[in-house]
Structure 1
Amino acid sequence: MLSVYPACFCKEENGYSIFFPDLNWLATCGDTLEDAMEMAVDCLAGYLYDCKKENEPIPTASEMNTLSVEAQLKEFYEDSPIPSYFINMVSVDVEAYAKEHFEKSVKKTLSIPAWLNKAALEQGINFSQTLQEALLAKLRA
């Protein structure tokens, strides 16, 4: 199922800032317009995917022509002038995107000493699960 939300693309000195007004002003950025659109799709997919996983309510998307972003942009940019911007709809099939980017497993080939392999097999250790747990622990460190 396709999810479609309006996003505000602000032209910055070195790329674009993207804001989703309906998603509590969730933000991302991109170096070029193409990169900004890809990042917007990824950001939208990630947000909606997390909402579904956590059983959080999914906000309703506004009609593009009903959005008023000036007041919020003034708050974001404080004393600086609001950059040029445009509103564009961003769409993503969250389920398909998640299968490709969030849930897809990648096969890895690795080498371990024979004695370690034998000991792990004797204890029925799941190699994939152990590697995932170790990598997650290492990334959090």
Structure 2
Amino acid sequence: MGVTSPDLPGCVTVSKDETDAIKCAKEALGLHIYGMEVDGEPIPTPSSIKRKGAAYVLIEVWMPLIRASIKEYSVKKTLAIPAWMDRAAKEAGIKNYSLMLQVAIAQELGIDIKAETPFSHPAPTIA
């Protein structure tokens, strides 16, 4: 089962059934609009669902959640530290090496982590 948007060329998904089609359509719509935002393209207004020859379903996405999920996507990195440093960190009660690395990288790059929240993006787009 294929799902397309007549107002968003290239926004296409394929699903196994109607339930999956709606789920996939929401994901495709959110990612497509996000790409348009990043590229600076205008977001079209929603069109009427009254068209002949096809079944239409209203698909809604809340863009702040889409933006946050893309921005906050984690990338797995493998790293090594000296054994003495691991022992010292454990003795100091440090358990979350990932957070420590994130803080260190942010400091090195001069990034204010507190300012980089999922909702520090533009206002939601209604599509």
- Fold match by TM threshold 0.5: yes
Flag as ranges the 4+ runs of structure 1 deviating above 6 A. none
Structure (1 or 2) with the greater strand fraction:
1
1:27 CA drift (Å)? 1.2
TM-score (norm 1): 0.51
Structural RMSD (CA): 3.0
| Aligned with residue 59 of structure 1, among 44, 49, 52 | 44
Secondary structure at the residue paired with 1:23?
coil
Secondary structure at the residue paired with 1:64?
coil
| One-letter amino acid of the counterpart of residue 90, structure 1 | I
Find the aligned partners of 1:60 and 1:105 in 2 and give their Cα distance. Answer: 28
| Aligned with residue 88 of structure 1, among 57, 60, 68 | 57
Count of paired positions: 87
| Aligned with residue 32 of structure 2, among 47, 68, 71 | 47
Instruction: Give matches, 1:1-141, under 5 Å.
Output: 16-24=1-9, 26-65=11-50, 67-68=51-52, 70=53, 85-100=54-69, 102-106=70-74, 108=76, 110-112=78-80, 114=82, 126=105
On the 8 A contact 2:34/2:66 being kept in 1, the answer is no
1:56 CA drift (Å)? 0.6
Point out which structure has higher relative CO (alpha carbons under 8 A, 6+ apart). 1
Name stretches of at least 5 consecutive residues in structure 1 with no aligned partner: 1-15, 71-84, 115-124, 127-141
Task: Quote the sequence identity (%).
Answer: 20
1:94 CA drift (Å)? 1.4
Find the aligned partners of 2:61 and 2:19 in 1 and give their Cα distance. Answer: 15
| One-letter amino acid of the counterpart of residue 4, structure 2 | F
Secondary structure at the residue paired with 1:90?
coil
